[in-house]
Structures are given as structure tokens and as C-alpha cells.
Structure 1
Amino acid sequence: MAGEFGVFAAAAVAPVQTTVMENDDVKVTFSNKGGQPVSVQLKKFKTSEGGPLMLAQGSFNRLSLEVPASATKVLNSADLFFTAGPVQKLADGGQSISYRLNTSNPATYLEFVYGIKPGSYVVSYNVHAVGFQNILPGNQNYLNLQWNSQNDKQEHDMENERLNNQVHYMYANDKHDYFTLQRSSHEKLDNKLKWISVKQQFFNTTLIAKSGSFDAADVNTKVPQSGNIVGQAFTTIQIPYNRANDFSFPIDIYYGPNHYKTLKSFDLGLEKIIPLGSGIFAFVKYVNKWIIIPVFNFLSGFISNYGMIIILLTIFIRLLILPFTYQSYVSQAKMKVLKPEIDELRAKHGEDQQAFGMEQMKLFKSAGVNPLGGCLPALLQLPILVAMYSFFPSSIELRQESFLWAKDLSTYDSILNLGFNIPFYGNHVSLFTILMTITSLILAFYNRGMTDQSNPVMKYMPYIMPIMLLGIFNRLAAALTFYYFLSNVISILLQWVLQTFVINHDKIHAQIQENKKKPVSKSKWQEKLEEVQRRQQDMQQRKK
């Protein structure tokens, strides 16, 4: 035994003892084996099945430092027994506990000191090594911290959980990046790190270098074929070691929810783990940060029903873009008035699309109509629609909140479980998704006058797209599909009210006729475009 464990022979065997430290938010159980947390419970949250929500439990999870037992033997502190000190009450109402790993030399030992404060999801973790320069190789300027994390199933949809099971990290130069466990099994992070996080759909565990940075990290991941395990991460973190006789490296461990305001309060960019917009739509994160989240938080400050909050948020957004929506409907009315004349031009020029285009532009110019006027509200709504696509599925506030028939707004609403899987659709029926699809088709029918009915693609695409998207949205958050459904209903009502009671088609027709009488001034761009078109026509005639 002494030969195998070297200077740590006295720590090879001992009775296992556990100690609990907790506040109102988190309950952490520590063990003298490894001097590490063996279970972490978030007290204010439950799993989808109503059980206690554990961010760490079981033997897979470990927080372990590599320690040299001899010149040729390296051990893991998780396999050795520490001597536990008593739980200390702190002046701020918090608690702390220390675990010491002794060696055969009283002047050389390893100590882990943990602390927890009231109203916090953070567990402080101080790595304290005394005399280690005497047992480490002479050229080693780092300590290896092994952090294994297993994410157990917590939500209703395992597939969605795995899509959101990621490793995020922030470099010392404030560059943030991440990878998904399902898509990458190994990543080597060679630059200095401020923090590294294992993110689940609504929760995360993050190790933060409290002073300085981690030197590097090597992450291996695995997605087991299990109905209860979402994913596993094996991370080796290099802690910079200056070979001082009395060395300390403080780390904060965050065990908590992916709550934007909470993570942002650290002022370390931790909130970037919440997917508010990425890829080509990365810009929508600013819509979420500056508009959606502040309004959502304001409403949730005095309204407890999140379904009502979504309704009010939708109304607020539609009021915000109402002036542009009105101009869009006016533009649609103008196009409707001009439609007979456009049809005449199309019949006159037949297959000559170039000539038809030139005459159509002249008509628009003389009538004072902007053919793209109806597109502006759609362009303004696109960032908001995409922002919502990111916001609602990521909002922990909606987790396990019910509304109407939806038991949990953070996942899909199922009114019928089929018991079998339909390709491209799923194994259940989401009523909000069906309502969203139906209202999308009604809206497309309402706006059919705005599309080129002679073009089969333009004519039928507004009806085909909602059907194609049915399978995608069937498994998305009920909050999202409810928002899209509600937005469609408001669009239909607004269009009906404005076109029936507000927009005067006769007045618009009279105004267009007056505009035609006015002399038309051509812009330089239009003159150049017409010149190019004339040249093309001349070339075509010469070829004939």
C-alpha cells in the first residue's frame, strides 16, 4: 500500500464521511473521499417529473487534482481521503469547510477550502498547496485539475436537451466560444481562460478563475446511449503554478440557472452561454438584450401568468411597428388599385418580361407608388421573429409554467401522443403549432393580391411554407408557437380593420390619378437603368 500511494500512504483508506453546506438556493454535499462535492441540488427547481434537480450526483462527477505520490507515480486526489475540518459560520451568514490531504512530511500538504454565501449559487473553491515544489518535477509550472461532469435528464424532451448540452468558454482576451457535445468529442483549448462552463438546456456548472486565468483546458465528451444521461464531459484544466512554498489558486464554481440577469451580474460574459442569436442572425441578440428581455422582465415584475406576459409582449411589439404596418397596408391598397393596369401591361407585352418591367416601373413612377413599400414591415419583423425564436426556448422563466392546455411553456404542448413517429413531423400533436399554421395560411390567402399570381412559385409558396414548417415547429417551445400564432391573429385583425375602416381605397385611387398628371422626374439611376434596357432591346432586335 505504501509503495502504491507513496507520500500519501496514510490517506489511502478511511471511512467515508459526508458534510452538507446549504443556503436557500443550493445544497452541496461534500465527501472526505477526494475532499470534493459529491452532490449538488438546486433547491428552487424540480425535474420535469417532479423530482429534486441535481446538477451533480453519482461517482462519475469529480473535482480532482493530480498529485505526485513519488517520482514515477501520479495519483488523483479524488481517490484519496482528506481530513475534514468543522463547518465554520462566517460573519456574512455564510459557511466554509476545509479538507486537508496530508503527506508523510508535515510540511507538505494539499488543502481544499469551500465556502458558500446566502442568496448565491456560487461555491468558492480554493486550491491551497503547501510544499508541493518539493514533490513536483523541477520544471512543472502547472497543476492539473480534473473536472468530470455528468448531465442527467431534467427536461421533458431529451433530444432538445442534447442539442443544448454544450461546453462554453471565455478566453482571457474576452473571446467567447462553445461546442455541442453531440457534434464534438474533443476540443483542446491552448490559450488562457477566464472560465469554462458545461451548459445544459436551463442550467450550467461553471468554473471561474477568480484571480488570473486557467492556463489551458483539454475537453473530452461523450453522449452515452442512455435514456437518463444527456451527456458527459471530461475536462482537464491547467492551473498556473508558480512553485511557491505556500500556493493558492481561488476558483468560483457556479451551480445554477441560465438566467440572463443573474449571469450578467458576474460581469464576465457568462450570459453569452444563453443562445440569444448566433450565426447569420447573430445581430438579433441585440434585439433580445435591448428590447425583448427588458420588456419581458418589466412585465414579469407585476404579472405572474406567463401566458398573459406573452400576450402583452406581443401587443407591445405590434404597437411598436404599427406605423410601418399601416404604411405597408397603404402600399398594398395602392398596388390593388393599380392591379388592373398591371394586368393590362402583362397582357400587352406577353413573354417580353423586359419591356413589361420597364412599363411597370413607369406606371409606378407616374402613380407615385413604391412597389417595395409593403416589404418594410416584413423586414422590420424578421429580426423580431428570429429574436423570439432564440428567446422563448432559452428562457428559464418559462420552464414548467403552464398556460391553457400547455403544461410547460418551455417545451412543446402536446394534446395527443401518437405512440409512433411520423417522419418530418414527430410522435405528438402540438395544438399551438397547428393554430400557427392555420393562421399563417389565412394570412397568406388575405395577402394573395400582393403576389404575382401568374408565377406558380410566387403564387403557391406562401401556402407551402407553413406546411413545410409544421414538422419543425411541432417540437419547439409552446411559448414560441403561441407567440407566432398570436402575432398572426393580430396581423389578420389589423389588416381587416385598417383596410375596412381606415384605408379609403377611393381616395387612394383618386390620389394615384392626380399623381399621374404630374410631370415625372427621373432619377439618374432610373435614367441609367432605362438606357441599359434600351440597349438590350436594340441588341435583341439586331439579332432578329
Structure 2
Amino acid sequence: MDKNSAIGMGLIAAIILVYSIFFMKEPAPEPVKKSTKTTTSAAAVPTASPQEDSAATAQRVAQLGEFGTLATGQNQTTVLENQVLRVSLGSKGGKVEEVELKNYKTWDKKPLILFDTVTSQQEFTFQTKNGRNIRLSDLFFQPSAVANLTIDNKPAKSITYTAQVAPGQSIEQVYTLREDSYEVGYQLNFRGMEGVVAQQPIQLTWTDELKRLEKDIKQNRSHSTVNFYTTEGSFDNISASSTDAETEKIEEPVLWVANKQNFFTAAIIAQNSFANAEVSSVYNEADTTQVKKLTSKVAIPVQDALSGKAHFTYFFGPNDYDVLKNVAEGFDKNLELGWGIFSWVNKLLIIPAFDFLEDFIPNYGIIIILLVLYIKLILSPLTYKSYISMAKMKVLKPEIDVIKEKNDGDMQKTQAETMALYSKMGVNPMSGCIPMLLQMPILFAMFNFFPNSIELRQEPFLWAHDLSTYDVFARLPFTIPFYGDHVSMFTLLMTASTILYTWSNNQVSTVQGPMKFYSYLMPVIFMFVLNSFPAGLSFYYFVSNIVTFGQQALIRRFVDDEKIRKNLEEYQEKNKGKEPKGGFQKRLQEAMKAAAEQESKRKKGTK
């Protein structure tokens, strides 16, 4: 590794370090667990509302006015179920009461309830022409029998909840669940209600106290937020890493709003649009049973409900790219794949390869090893080019040492003469650095892929119980600043392999002094940074380092330093007396030469 390559490596390492701190929302060690109550799924049997005294009933009836006849009744629970979802619906309010993701468990192996009436509340409110605010949750609806349908050539189940306000006037809520889908269709219809309902938007307020689903609650919090997408194609969210309560108002029409966690999302998508929205986020750091409290307020044009156009889709499911990309426009952004080119590397290169391997191999540790081999095969031309560049620097080391000795500490003059030597011998000092820079998109893509890959969730490998979070090889009786209170063995292996890889590079490099020390320091810094990152990421880098080390050992066997030296001398003889070609290298050489001349004049002027 020559000096320019070492500087390039240092810049890459610094960028990764900054990226991991400010963009990756680095997880911290798990806090001390408090005792929690077990959440159980609601039974699919009718449940009676509590008895109320006649005075309270009469008061509520009076408050509801023409809707007073709908103020009493019994709540009946009906279940719509397919292969992946179990959705419980209640006749009081005609609303979703509970959603269970059947193929997933919480970190402590309990049923994964993504939505329930204890921690999640949805309130539809509309205004009447006489000034009353009516909440659908105050009304009792009559459920229809569950109907079997066919939608897009797939079996589906549907149920309609009807609240008969007066003859010819009713409120309908229709829920539809297709086979093998995480989407629940929802329609809100105001039939014959033009003379009753005011021309004001219907307000949906969704309050969601996110339950703890993952072992590392701080990692879960750092990836949990409210995302939203406008009809103009703009995606935005509340900062997931913020520790303060935050609120944002969106005045333009909104297509969807999503309560996004590390690996799961609950969302509502409009077929047309919501008129506007307001979203907020807050959490209590001391409460280890709750991740965050997210609130969304969206405005539904009342005319949509009056004309039968208030059609929506609920999504309750995993942050799986293959699932999210088919839900709605921009919905795949609920999976954090990085920004710009890093996202496209994941979508076009990493995820297809991962999905392909997943179809044939059940062990995710083996999949990661094969993924490394796949990436290394793609990058092998760059690896070879980088090594050849370092080999050229190595054979020129005797001449470079003579230049250093002649200039006796004059760095600018040494650099200028070194660049002149490179130009004369046909060596591009940037050719060792550029291949490393070209690998950066894949490097950053992996930083986003592994912490957000639901495929690794709760998947064990060797001593790691869950590749989606850090492995705990040993628990420390104290906390080390910036490191934590645990030892991640995969991170230690990654550090050791990086030092081995650095040592291997230094055997063919010209780097000396502080730069050489710095090349060994960076792996130690990353040991602290990555100790609380997912084990899958650390294991990937460990395997990647070992494979790269093997690649370089193989290349070294077929690279003849004497032949390289001969080629350089032939280039020098062939181009003797010729001016160096234009381009970046020539401009860099001229700049260094000018800087050296100015420094020489300055020194003479001070004597």
C-alpha cells in the first residue's frame, strides 16, 4: 500500500466512521429489562360492553343527536384470517382491534401482535351540519356475514359493518383480506348522508404506542419513526434518531402514512389521497416496554366518503423489500437501504443475490459466506488492479528512498520529485486508490443491508442467537465508553482479520512512519464502532477480509516483481525525452513542483 493508497484508505475509513455515527443511528447496549405484561390475542368470540347506568346512557345518546340510536349495543368480534395475518374486528366502532403476524414472533418468542386496542387507537371523527363531532368508535355497527370473494384471481374474505342512522341513511365500513397478503382493504361510505354531514374533512387520528418487538430496544428506537409519502412523490419522515418530541405538518396531499419499526410497519394508504397530515413522535427512555409513541392525523375529504371513493389499504407486515415494493408508490422506502447509489446497489445487486441463495440454502451464515464470494468475484478486477499498483510502488521504493534522503525532510520537494519519477516510469499513483473508491458503494450498501434485513432476524449461526443484532460472546461487569458492556466475538474476528489484511498490504507497500501506524489503528477504531452492530455485518466483513487476504496471496504467486521492474524501465526508455501526457497526474505533478519552488523561495527569503 503506497502513501496515496493509504491516504485513500484513511479517507474511506473516516467517511465510514462519520456515516456510521450520523446516518446509521448506531445502536447502544440493551438496557436493563423491566418486568412486562404478556400481551395476548383477543379471542374470536363476542364480548359484552360494560353495563352503564341509564343516566350516562341517556347523556351519551343526547350528545350524539340523530346518531343516538347507535350509542348502545354489544361489541362482537369477528376474525379475518389468511396464511400470514390474523385480523380481529369489533362491531363497536366497526374498527380493527388486533393484528397478529402469524409467521413472526417477538424477541422473547411470544406472538407478534403489531396492533391492538391497548396500545393502538384509531379514531375517525366527522362533523355534522348542526355542529356535532361524531366519533365512529361511539357507534355500534351491525356486522354482515363474512363473504368469500375473488380479487385479482385470488381468494379473499370480506365483511361489512353498517350503522343505520335513519331510513336511507347509513355508514358502512368494509374490510377485505386477500389470500397470503399483508394488506387489508378498507372502505368508508356515507350513504344518503349529504343532508347530515358537514362539508368538513373526516379526521383520522392514529395513536400507536409501539410495543417492544426486538431484543435491543435502543436499536429498535433508532429505526422507528413515522414515514409519509406525498402525491407529488416526496418521501420524508420524522428523524428516528431524535431524542426530543417532534411534530411535522404536511400541508400538501399525502398518499400514505406509515408507523415504521426496525423490521415491521403498520400503515394506511389512500387510493386517492389524504388532504393533509400531521405526524409526531415521542418516547420515554426509561420505559423499556414501549419503543415510541407515534401519532398521525390525516384529513379525508368528506366528499370521497359521500361519493363512495373513500378507499384505503391498511398494511400490517414485515419490512421485506419483495413485499413492500408491490404495496404502493414509494412504499419500499420504509426499508432503509441507504440513499442514492447505495440504495440501488442493494436493490439491483445485493438483494437479488441474497434472495437467490435463500431459495436453496437454509443457513444464513452460509448465505453470507457465499454472498462474500459473489461480491469478491465482481470486484476481483479492481482488486487485481489495486495490487498491481502497489507492486509498482514497491519496485520503485529504492529510487523513492534516494529522493527522501537527498531532500532531507523537505516534504514538498520530495513529493514533487516522487511524482516526476512516477510520471517518467509510467506509474499512476492514483490507480491504487481509485479501485478502493469504486468499491465504496458496495461497502456502504452493506452498512444498510445487514442492520435492516428481516431475513436475518432471529436466525442463529454458531454462537450468535440472532444475526440481526449483536452477538454476546461475553458480558462485561462494567461499561466501556463507546464500546458497551458486552464482547462481540464476530467484531473481534473482523478486527483481527482486518489487521491481518493490513499487514499483508504493508508487505508490498511503500508506506512508512505515522501512515503505517494509522493503517493499524483504524481496525481498532472500528472494533468500537461495530461492537453493537448486527452480527451478520461483522461476520460479513470478517469473511470478506479472509477472502481478500487469500486473493492477494494468490495474485502474489503470479506477479513477478522483476518483470514489473523490466516493464517500467522499458516504458522509461521508450518515452525518454518526451513531455508527460496531460491529465490529472500531470496537473498534480505541476502543482507539486510549483509548491516546492515557492517553498524554496520562501526559505531563501528568510535567511
- TM-score over 0.5 for the pair: yes
User: Is 2:119–2:211's contact at 8 Å kept on the other side of the alignment?
Assistant: no
Query: C-alpha separation between the residues in 2 aligned to 1:68 and 1:47?
Result: 40
Compared with structure 1, are the counterparts of its residues 246 and 481 closer, same or farther at alpha carbon in structure 2 (3 Å cutoff)? same
Classify 1:67/1:524 alpha carbon distance in 2 versus 1 (closer, same or farther; 3 Å).
Answer: closer
Distance 2:170 2:327 in 1: 32
The 2-side partners of 1:182 and 1:74 are apart by 36
For the residues of structure 2 that align with 1:386 and 1:413, how far apart are their CA atoms?
Answer: 21
Which residue does 1:222 correspond to in 2? 282
**C-alpha deviation, 1:419, in angstroms:** 4.8
- The alignment partner of 2:93 has SS state of coil
Find the residue that maps to 2:539 and give its secondary structure. Answer: helix
Matches within 5 A, 1:295-310: 295-310=353-368
| Partners of 1:204 and 1:255 within 8 A in 2 | yes
Deviations 1:278-332 (A, max 9, x none): 3xxx321111111111111122122222111111110111111112211211111
Q: Does 1:365 align with 2:423?
A: yes
> d(CA) in 1 for partners of 2:455 and 2:366?
13
- Contact 2:182–2:317 under 8 Å retained in 1: yes
Q: Distance in 1 between the 2:566 and 2:559 partners?
A: 13
Change (3 A) 1:303 1:357: same
What displacement does 1:13 show?
2.8
**Is 1:101 equivalent to 2:163 in the alignment?**
yes
Equivalent position of 1:504 in the other structure: 560
Aligned pairs (5 A) from 1:55-454: 55-68=114-127, 71-91=130-150, 92-103=154-165, 105-137=166-198, 140-181=199-240, 183=242, 185-210=246-271, 212-224=272-284, 225-242=286-303, 246-266=307-327, 268-278=329-339, 282-448=340-506, 450=509, 452-454=511-513
CA deviation after TM superposition for structure 1 residue 524, in Å: 4.4
CA distance in 2, matches of 1:318, 1:297: 18
Q: Count residues in correspondence.
A: 534
Percent identity of equivalent pairs: 36
How far the C-alpha of 1:90 sits from its partner, in A, is 2.0
Deviation at 1:438, TM superposition (A): 0.9
Shift of 1:14: 2.2
CA-atom RMSD in angstroms: 2.2
8 Å CA contact 2:127, 2:202 repeated in 1: no
Q: Distance in 1 between matches of 2:304 and 2:310?
A: 12
Distance 1:473 1:76 in 2: 49
- Equivalent AA in structure 1 for residue 140 of structure 2: F
- TM normalised by structure 1 equals 0.93
Distance in 2 of aligned mates of 1:505 and 1:531: 29
Moved more, 62-71 or 183-192: 62-71
1:181/1:231 contact within 8 Å kept: no
Instruction: Select which of 481, 487, 492 maps to 2:538.
Output: 481
- The separation in 1 between residues aligned to 2:383 and 2:521, in whole angstroms, is 24
Amino acid at match of 1:219: V
* Deviations 1:450-485, CA, capped at 9 Å, x for gaps: 36324x2x2322222221222221111111110101
Between the aligned partners of 2:305 and 2:501, the Cα distance in structure 1 is 71
- Judge conservation of contact 2:238–2:247 (CA < 8 Å) in 1: no
1:532 pairs with 2:594 = yes
Paired residue secondary structure (2:402): helix
Q: Return the alpha-carbon distance in structure 2 between the equivalents of residues 479 and 444 of structure 1.
A: 22
Partner of 2:62: 3
* 1:466 to 2:527 alignment: no
Q: Which runs of 5+ in 1 are unaligned?
A: none
Q: Would you say the 8 A contact 1:7–1:70 is kept in 2?
A: no
Q: Is 2:548 the counterpart of 1:491?
A: yes
Cα distance in 1 for residues equivalent to 2:565 and 2:305: 86
